[in-house]
Amino acid sequence: MSHVSYRDAIFSTPLDRVAQFSFDERVVACFPDMIRRSVPGYGQILGMLGLIAQRHLRHGAHVYDLGCSLGAVGLALASQLPPDAFRLTGVDLSPAMVARARETLAAECPDHDIQVIEGDIRTLDYQATGMIVLNFTLQFLSPEDRDAVIARLYDALEPGGVLVLSEKVIDPDEQDNAWRVERYHDFKRANGYSDLEISQKRTALENVLIPDTLEAHHDRLGKAGFPRSLTWFQYLNFASLIAFKTYESP
Ligand SMILES: Nc1ncnc2c1ncn2[C@@H]1O[C@H](C[S@+](CC[C@H]([NH3+])C(=O)[O-])CC(=O)[O-])[C@@H](O)[C@H]1O
Ligand SMILES: O=C(O)C(=O)Cc1ccccc1
């Protein structure tokens, strides 16, 4: 069954108390609209994944999409690569997301081998894999859990494998960070969000989405064993990195 995606109006009316942001049914119903209007470069990042897979993934190899939400990474890869090019496992902790992702993927790409499991990426028993995508997911884990997850992902990757890590980031320079955040709010305003929506969402995300600096991400990847990582995309305070299991990757 296919679903309409509603316009995100979750923070549009004044709330007495802004509850912590969670990936519940209400967010699921408007998620494609929310993420497209709230994440600069989201579409460009998805559009590049097929090209990255073509360069780095052995034909037919396995891919993990961790924190898959509605399965956008699987959909993007399936639109760019034939069914025999890869097998994908999406993982998400939110039952509402998983249910909707399964329906969407079955309807949109029935010929591709894509499964979705409800699980926690901190404790999952990982199988050997050729490519791992964390598209705006690590930022929702508590900071003390992040090193161990990245280390486990390094172990799961096969030789020649790659990890793509997209995140909201903070700039260590306070003035530069303020400029990025203010222009990000301009970006949201230009995409139809009001000042009230911007400020209430910001409150809801406090202590829920905790961004690191790019340097902290590269350091963590290095500590986990990745011999090489680079920032391949940045748009204001949103960035995407790629880490290579093997130094001599193309
Ligand atoms: N411990 C966890 N284990 C599994 N999933 C988790 C965990 N914590 C949070 N999540 C899940 O991570 C996802 C983050 S959204 C990813 C977008 C998607 N990648 C996309 O490309 O459209 C990003 C955003 O909304 O900014 C949510 O679905 C959570 O349920
Ligand atoms: O809207 C924000 O402020 C963000 O940082 C992006 C986002 C997008 C979807 C869910 C949570 C955060």
At residue 1, the pLDDT reads 57
In short, whether 139's Cβ falls inside 6 Å of ligand 1 is no
Number of C-beta neighbours around residue 158 at 10 A: 15
Distances (CA, A) of 246 to 56, 200, 242, 249: 11, 43, 12, 6
Q: pLDDT tens across 188-211, in order?
A: 999 999 999 999 999 999 999 999
What's the CATH code, domain 42-171+208-244? 3.40.50.150
Ligand 1 pocket check: which of 92, 100, 139, 141 to mutate, most ligand atoms within 8 Å of Cβ?
A: 92
What gap in Å lies between CA 145 and CA 142, rounded to an integer?
Answer: 6
Output the pTM of the full model.
0.98
For ligand 1, the distance from its centroid to the CA atom of residue 66, given in whole angstroms, is: 7
Whether 164 has a pLDDT exceeding 60, the answer reads yes
What gap in Å lies between CA 109 and CA 75, rounded to an integer?
Answer: 7
Ligand 2 atom nearest 168 alpha carbon: 5
Q: Band of the pLDDT at 230, cuts 50, 70, 90?
A: very high
Q: pLDDT tens across 91-147, in order?
A: 999 999 999 999 999 999 999 999 999 999 999 999 999 999 999 999 999 999 999
What gap in Å lies between CA 203 and CA 207, rounded to an integer?
Answer: 9
In short, whether 121's Cβ falls inside 6 Å of ligand 1 is yes
**Span 34-43, average pLDDT:** 98
In short, whether 240's Cβ falls inside 6 Å of ligand 2 is no
Q: Band of the pLDDT at 83, cuts 50, 70, 90?
A: very high
Ligand 1 atom nearest 120 alpha carbon: 3
Q: pLDDT tens across 12-23, in order?
A: 999 999 999 999
In short, whether 69's Cβ falls inside 6 Å of ligand 1 is yes
Ligand 2 atom nearest 198 alpha carbon: 3
**Span 39-58, average pLDDT:** 98
What gap in Å lies between CA 101 and CA 113, rounded to an integer?
Answer: 14
What gap in Å lies between CA 38 and CA 11, rounded to an integer?
Answer: 13
At residue 211, the pLDDT reads 98
Please state the ipTM of this predicted complex: 0.99
